[in-house]
Structure 1
Amino acid sequence: MWERAGAANLDVIQEVEYVKQEAKIVYLLECLQKTSPPVLIFCENKADVDDIHEYLLLKGVEAVAVHGGKDQQEREYAISSFKSSKKDVLVATDVASKGLEFPDIQHVINYDMPAEIENYVHRIGRTGKHLLQEAKQRIPPVLAELNDPMQDVEAIGH
């Protein structure tokens, strides 16, 4: 029997919210106020990581940031202070989603959807829309209207 890698973990609740671009950063802060740390926030590009990091610091959130434009020392400080619970939030590009273990993470926020579905798998440990269906979770109408990228792939595995 063939089993697809990254099958839905029924213990993980995936919630999708459609938020207009200009309202996203404010909504992000609201989300953070409703959840206990540690929280990981993923973004596609470095500029968004920097903007969110700066905004959260201005709002008094204990946040650190990681992306490819930061030097090794900055990245190591951010990751170690987040892992040791000195900082509550880590904002990162997909560079932090691969190969780093964060055992106590309760909440991952995708500020945007990554261009590659594999990066979504790395970000939250499972894949996209079809896994919401498999896990019998509510699919927001805005997602249901999107073409399912897995439809083309499902015939491949045996």
Structure 2
Amino acid sequence: MPTKVLNFAKSALVKPATVNVGRPGAANFGVIQEVEYVKQEAKFVYLLECLQKTAPPIIIFCENIVDVNDIHINLLIKGVDAVGIHAGMGQKEREDAISSFKKAKKDVLVATGVVLKGLDFPDIQHVINYDMPAQIEDYVDAQNGSATI
């Protein structure tokens, strides 16, 4: 459950029951997770190194709109075929960004996690969390070569 709902349930319910489906907090067995601590000033350079290691399509998650815009622009400057998406964009802009990524017109999608909730992207090989997610629900549930956000 999202943290806010869980906290509300704990405060409002008497003897609440918790039902877990699968292994709580665990990634899919087909997903390899790597955690790298990188100093803030070196993150973009390291991001470029990571992008060179994996074939597209790749999703990069950022915590906020400013990071999405900065990373998107800097990737374009470096010659990476990327598109950005966040809640500050209009609906048409978001739909166009998602469409171009799904149709493989763009190799990299830079986004805030909130914007992509409930969407499915086939053939995702690499998901990068530029910022550490605040809660487990922000991670990607990958199965059978796709990423469901």
Short-chain TM bin: 0.7 to 0.9
Task: Give the whole-Å Cα distance in 2 for the aligned partners of 1:63 and 1:8.
Answer: 27
Query: Number of aligned pairs?
Result: 123
**SS of equivalent residue, structure 1 residue 102:** strand
Post-superposition Cα deviations, 1:104-140, rounded to whole Å, max 9, x if no partner, equal 11110000112222212xxx217xxxxxxxxxxxxxx
Other-structure match for 2:133: 114
Task: Tell me how far apart the structure 2 counterparts of residues 102 and 45 of structure 1 sit (CA, whole Å).
Answer: 21
One-letter amino acid matched to 2:54 = T
Contact conserved, 1:6 with 1:125, CA < 8 A, in 2? no
Q: Does 1:15 align with 2:31?
A: no
Aligned-pair Cα RMSD in Å: 1.8
Name the counterpart of 1:137.
none
Distance 2:77 2:46 in 1: 15
Structure 1 stretches of 4+ moved >2 Å: 1-8
TM-score, normalised to structure 1's length?
0.72
CA distance in structure 2 between the aligned counterparts of 1:95 and 1:9, rounded to whole angstroms = 21
> Distance between the aligned counterparts of 2:104 and 2:112, measured in 1?
20
Match status 1:43 vs 2:62: yes
Counterpart of 1:66, as a letter, is I
Q: TM-score, normalised by structure 2?
A: 0.77
CA 1:10–1:4: 2 relative to 1, 3 Å: closer
| Residues 25 and 136, structure 2, Cα contact 8 Å, conserved in 1 | no
Structure 1 portions without partners, runs of 5+: 127-158
Q: Quote how far apart the aligned CAs of 1:5 are.
A: 4.9
Residue 6 of structure 1 deviates from its aligned partner by: 5.9
Counterpart for residue 73 of structure 2: 54
- Match of 1:28, as an amino acid? L
**Structure with more of its chain in strand, by fraction:** 2
What displacement does 1:19 show? Answer: 0.2
Distance 1:68 1:59 in 2: 25
Aligned partners of 1:7 and 1:109: how far apart in 2?
A: 17
